[in-house]
Amino acid sequence: MPQPFSVRRFFSRNGPLAESHPNYEFRSGQLEMALAVEAAIEERRHQIVEAGTGTGKTLAYLIPAILSGKRIVISTGTKNLQEQLFFKDIPFLEQFFPNGIKACYMKGRGNYACRQRIYDAEREPILTGLEEVNDFALIREWEKTTDIGDRASIPNLPDGSTAWAKVDARGELCTGQKCPSFERCFITLMHQRAAESDIIIVNHHLFFADLAVKGEEHGAILPDYAAVIFDEAHELEDVAGQYFGLSISSHQVEDLRRDVLSVARRKEFLSRDLEEMLLIITDHSDRFFQLFPQSEGRSGFNERAAFLHQHEESYRNVCSAFDLLAAHLSLVKDAPDELIPLHRRAVTLLAALRQWMEGDDPSYVHWLERRGRGVYLQATPIDVSSLLRDRVFSEIPCVVLTSATLAVEEKFDYVKERLGLSGARELIVPSHFDYQKQALLYVPHHLPDVRSPGFLALAAEEVRTILQHSRGRAFVLFTSYQQMRLIHDLVAPALDYPVLIQGSAPQRVLIEEFRTTPHCVLFATSSFWQGVDVQGDQLSCVIIDKLPFAVPSDPVVDARIRAIKSSGGNAFYDYQVPQAAISLKQGFGRLIRSRTDRGVLVLLDNRITRNRYGQIFFDSLPNYRFTTTLDDVARFFDEP
């Protein structure tokens, strides 16, 4: 079918886009990127594009994807961007396509309701407390009218609703085609929409979840596709590491025990033997997980052989308990369909535990994390480049990587090395913002080194002074939660402006409150460094406490540093500095979001001007006006 226009015509000065927008501004960089994406899809090759803020990169890849006539997967770093693409950008573009655009979005199963679990919950006593009963009433009424089943469309349902966790569509309890509600299942409908769509919008987590199960019977989540476009591609290494890795937790064991007990009661196959077996597995697993170090947070665990030698009896007891449970579930007479996924979980958990404890692959780093009562045993590939090369770049004909932050010193060497990408065409599209006029970068030379004991109090006073000049209207972003708390507690009481702090409400609530509250100040950490868009005077200052180097003691970071050193590389310049430069670009990218925005970027860490590696950061950032003088900051805010 002939298309209504070409890529070049769509973005031209007198094209359809210009005709539909009275304030349309031709951007040569947007057209250049769109043509590069079009060529990559047509010629079945890979393309990497850094597109500065304001270049219009979303339309620059959407239009050639739609015009290609092929099925294209678009993978985003966040659900927010997913929803923007589907609910804002696609509807906007449909005016240009008389026959419509066949598009859908897909999220992980936990985002969708399970109709059968909702129906079962009406008949069976699974709800506890008035809060769950009230939340369930919202869910039940919503289920009657929703076509998609995505929880994001339920008004007023709290983020942490425990009622939702009892009726969502996670695969751990799914009976698949044997379910009475299979034909009307929201997951089934999602797969049908994907099979009928040319543009499939996913997030990186779902994309790699699909990659991880490809090859398994009925495993694939996505239908076949000709190309994938990764937006926010700077996140790929971390997400790929999660899905090519291994994880088993005490919570997974507890969830299995609870689900077996619940299904056994509902389906009337609960026996004294099974009850006793579940008590045994709980007892043995609790004792086993308590043997690991008690300190909160993430830590490396290279002592598996010594741990196994010392605690072999406890480990064997857990394995035997899983074996017995799996055997018992496989022998239940007239077993209901719900038993199949429970048996599969018991077998899978046991296999994961054995692999974590006894596996000897040196290309993985083994580590653990304690969060409250939960213990998480993790194994992460030290280097995902070969995995991505084999599973993504060698298998998929066309991969497009794009983000506002991929280049370091205007080169892609770092990201290509980390992701195993070779032979791709490269393009840097500079932002069309006038950073010299719109933004001032301030680095206070008079502060002590960020590692010195006196830094905290003086940094807090500097933040307070800057916020007085900016009249609030600021993000104050931190590299650690502890630092955020300490400086917030010193600064907030002295401010005459409304103050918000991460953790006091869900992120989307905080962002909306910030947008609608004049002169507001938000204290936050890394989750607010990207994907947050506040245009206009409401955000006129971004303050960052330190250069965002990854914590070198983190087990995965430490393993990657040691691997680079052992292969003869310079871990600091090859890995740590480029990673921090990209993170700093992300944080500063919150400020200037349109051609009319203006504001001050503050980095309290003056190592950027005192150490040789600081030039790498400057060469990676846009061409901001620069100062080390607070008076210049005051003058900037006083300018009309």
> Tens digit of pLDDT for each residue in 276-323?
999 999 999 999 999 998 888 899 998 899 999 999 999 999 999 999
Query: Per-residue pLDDT for 135 more than 90?
Result: no
What span, in angstroms and rounded, lies between the C-alpha atoms of 585 and 403? Answer: 11
Mean pLDDT of 84-88: 90
Quick one: how far is CA 298 from the chain centroid?
A: 19
Three-state DSSP state, 188: helix
For residues 51 and 62, the answer to whether their CB atoms sit within 8 Å is no
Residue 217's pLDDT band (cuts 50, 70, 90): low
Residues 426-484 have pLDDT tens digits of 999 988 889 999 999 999 999 999 999 999 999 999 999 999 999 999 999 999 999 99
CATH of domain 246-381: 1.10.275.40
What span, in angstroms and rounded, lies between the C-alpha atoms of 283 and 360? Answer: 28
Name the least confident of 112-121, 163-172, 338-347.
163-172
Residues 559-598 have pLDDT tens digits of 999 999 999 999 999 999 999 999 999 888 888 888 888 9
For residues 388 and 415, the answer to whether their CB atoms sit within 8 Å is no
The residue extents of the domains of the chain are 1-102+197-243+384-432, 107-191, 246-381, 435-638
In CATH, which superfamily holds the domain spanning 1-102+197-243+384-432?
Answer: P-loop containing nucleotide triphosphate hydrolases (3.40.50.300)
Residue 218's pLDDT band (cuts 50, 70, 90): low
Residues 374-413 have pLDDT tens digits of 999 999 999 999 999 999 999 999 999 999 999 999 999 9
The per-residue pLDDT for 3 is: 64
The per-residue pLDDT for 250 is: 93
> Tokens at residue 246, please?
């291994």
The per-residue pLDDT for 119 is: 87
Beta bridge partners of residue 625, listed in sequence order: 440
Helix, strand, coil shares of the chain, percent, nearest 5, are 50, 15, 35
Which residue type is seen at 593? R
Identify the residue with better confidence: 107 or 337.
107
Residues 172-195 have pLDDT tens digits of 777 788 888 888 899 999 999 999
CA distance between the termini of the chain:
53
The per-residue pLDDT for 424 is: 96
The per-residue pLDDT for 1 is: 45
On the question of a common fold for 1-102+197-243+384-432 and 435-638, the answer reads: yes
Query: Per-residue pLDDT for 348 more than 50?
Result: yes
The per-residue pLDDT for 389 is: 96
Mean pLDDT of 321-341: 87
Architecture of the 435-638 domain: 3-Layer(aba) Sandwich (3.40)
Which residue type is seen at 595? R
Identify the residue with better confidence: 337 or 218.
337
Mean pLDDT of 247-251: 93
Query: Per-residue pLDDT for 126 more than 80?
Result: no
For residues 640 and 537, the answer to whether their CB atoms sit within 8 Å is no
Portion of the chain with pLDDT greater than 90, in percent: 63
Q: Rg of the chain's alpha carbons, rounded to an integer? A: 26
Residues 29-80 have pLDDT tens digits of 999 999 999 999 999 999 999 998 888 899 999 999 999 999 999 999 888 7
C-beta contacts of 347-353 below 8 A and 24+ residues apart: 349/248, 349/252, 349/253, 349/256, 349/322, 350/319, 350/322, 350/323, 350/326, 352/246, 352/247, 352/248, 353/248, 353/318, 353/319, 353/322, 353/377
For residues 149 and 186, the answer to whether their CB atoms sit within 8 Å is yes
What span, in angstroms and rounded, lies between the C-alpha atoms of 241 and 519? Answer: 40
Outline where DSSP puts E strands in 168-245.
Answer: 199-203, 227-231
Residues 93-122 have pLDDT tens digits of 999 998 899 999 999 888 999 898 888 877
Which residue type is seen at 452? S
Portion of the chain with pLDDT greater than 70, in percent: 98
Mean pLDDT of the chain: 90
Query: Per-residue pLDDT for 534 more than 90?
Result: no
What span, in angstroms and rounded, lies between the C-alpha atoms of 10 and 116? Answer: 46
